[in-house]
Amino acid sequence: MAKPLILVSNDDGITAPGIRTLVRVAMKVGEVVVVAPDSPQSGMGHAITIGNTLRLDRSIALEDLGVEAYECSGTPADCVKLAKHHVLRDRQPDLVVSGINHGSNSSISVLYSGTMSAAIEAAIEGLPAIGFSLCDYGHGADFSHTEEFVEQIIRQAIENGIPDNTALNVNFPKKSEEPIKGIKVCRQARAKWQEEFDERLDPHNRKYYWMTGSFVNHDKGEDTDEWALVNNYISVVPCQFDMTAHHAIAMLNEDWSF
């Protein structure tokens, strides 16, 4: 029986340590093809390249792992589009995985995340997809404790499937002395970044701004991704690209006059 075909992408770039971990794990399950950005694309959300050229080249960044790999000048969403319609135009991936991101993509961060945009782009294309992220922003972040769970989740996705038009947002707690307690399927917490803009001067005495701020969680529920991560569980949130606020349709039809 042929091995399942797994497409791997990310937003931290093809040389990031997280994608190496994800590729190594995915290779235990299936045949792996990588299409990833040639440079970091964090925070790009679902941006696509329209007004500029896109470049796609074979990459040597992962050649020691023995996988077919390409680096793309565009965004994570561009990478998935090019993979689906060009690199793998004669083949259909059984699964698309993105990450492992260097930093959390829980709660509202899913909207800004290039990691999750690669997964959601795959879902738009009708492909089952998962985005993996580690809640550790440190330079030397340790991804080792994620590996057995990444493999478990990938195998579950291939064997049991993912609902149509859905991408899974998987976040791992930072490695600690306490072992991970397990995996929880959650909802996205109602939380946001409270931004501040630090006004500074460049060497030419011109103003510029540096965005700072802090993450604020207003959600006290114990069924959210934020609760799971704080309590040392892996969070799995099913995400959809239909952003219709269905609950608001009746209100607008009843209370507004057109």
The closest alpha carbon to 16, from 33, 32, 31, 37, belongs to: 37
- Read off the pLDDT of residues 197-254 as tens digits, 9 standing for 90 and up: 999 999 999 999 999 888 899 999 999 999 999 999 999 999 999 999 999 999 999 9
Considering the chain, what is the average pLDDT of its residues? 96
Q: Could you give the 3-state DSSP secondary structure of residue 126?
A: coil
**Residue 219, annotated ligand binder?**
no
Is 12 annotated as contributing to ligand binding? yes
Judged against a pLDDT cut of 80, whether residue 1 lies above it is answered with: no
β-sheet bridge partners, residue 52: none
Provide the terminal-to-terminal Cα distance of the chain, rounded to the nearest Å: 59
- Of the pLDDT bands very low, low, confident and very high (cuts 50, 70, 90), residue 24 is very high
Q: How confident is the model at residue 91 (pLDDT cuts 50, 70, 90)?
A: very high
2: pLDDT strictly greater than 90: no
In the chain, beta strands by DSSP E: 5-9, 31-37, 56-58, 68-72, 95-102, 129-134, 166-172, 183-185, 191-201, 207-217, 234-240
- Of 50-54, 85-89, 214-218, minimum mean pLDDT range: 214-218
Q: What is the pLDDT of residue 205?
A: 96
Question: Is 85's pLDDT higher than 80?
Answer: yes
Reply yes or no on whether the pLDDT at 21 is more than 80: yes
Please say whether the beta carbons of 119 and 102 come within 8 A.
no
pTM: 0.94
- The rounded distance, in Å, linking the Cα atoms of 74 and 172 is 27
Instruction: Classify each residue of 20-47 as buried b or exposed e, where b means 16 or more C-beta atoms within 10 Å of its C-beta.
Output: bbbbbbbbebbbbbbbbbbeebbebbbe
Cis ω on the peptide bond leading into residue 100 (within 30° of 0)?
A: yes
The helix/strand/coil state of 98 is strand
Report yes or no: 95 and 6 within 8 Å, Cβ to Cβ: yes
Give domain 5-190+220-255's CATH superfamily: Survival protein SurE-like phosphatase/nucleotidase (3.40.1210.10)
pLDDT above 70 covers what percent of the chain? 100
Nearest-angstrom CA–CA distance, 209 and 200: 6
Q: Looking at residue 208, what is its pLDDT?
A: 97
Range 50-65 average pLDDT: 96
Domain parsing of the chain, residue ranges: 5-190+220-255
178 token code pair = 């306490």
Instruction: Give residue 95's pLDDT band: very low, low, confident or very high (50, 70, 90).
Output: very high
**Nearest in space to 126 (alpha carbons), one of 83, 147, 95:** 95
Mean pLDDT over 133-137 rounds to 95
pLDDT value of position 158: 97
pLDDT of residue 43: 87
The pLDDT-based confidence of 168 (bands split at 50, 70, 90) is very high
Average pLDDT score over residue span 60-83: 97
SS (H, E, C) 55-85: CEEECCCCHHHCCEEEEECCCHHHHHHHHHH
52 is in an annotated binding site: no
Q: Are 235 and 132 in contact (CB under 8 A)?
A: no
Q: Is 90 annotated as contributing to ligand binding? A: no
* pLDDT value of residue 213: 85
